[in-house]
Amino acid sequence: MKTTYTLNIGGTSFSILSDEPEDYIRYLEEQVNGMLDSAALRGASSYKAALFVCMELCDMLEKAKAENPDAAKKQKKNCEQVLFPEKGQTSLF
């Protein structure tokens, strides 16, 4: 069942519709905000902040695959599928 969650990323609130558990969505929200804080990107342009977060998430995924190659074989939703579950949705903002 899909639920609408309101997230606060870098001081901007937006809603997403997801069938992921709330604790997972909140964990992702916390991770993204931590990345923005560590790179001093809070309040930066949304393009620059989004690019940084995507690069960091790719690095995290690559490290996770290297540490546990069997887990990488399992079918998982990618970022786009989690953030944009509806095919017509193309933007967070």
CA atoms of 60 and 54, how far apart (whole Å) = 10
Question: Between these two residues, 69 and 23, which has the higher pLDDT value?
Answer: 23
User: Nearest CA to 76 among 17, 20, 9?
Assistant: 20
Average pLDDT over residues 32-61: 70
Angle at 80 between CA 77 and CA 86, to 5 degrees: 95
Candidate from 1-15, 51-65, 66-80 with smallest mean pLDDT: 66-80
- Can you tell me the mean pLDDT for 44-52? 66
Question: How confident is the model at residue 93, as a pLDDT?
Answer: 47
Supply the pLDDT for residue 87: 63
Tell me the HSE value of 77 on the side-chain side, using a 13 A CA sphere. Answer: 12
Does residue 54 or residue 16 have the better pLDDT?
16
Arithmetic mean of pLDDT, 74-88: 63
Helices (H), 14-85: 22-38, 46-67, 69-73, 79-83
Residue 20's pLDDT is: 81
The domain spans of the chain are 3-83
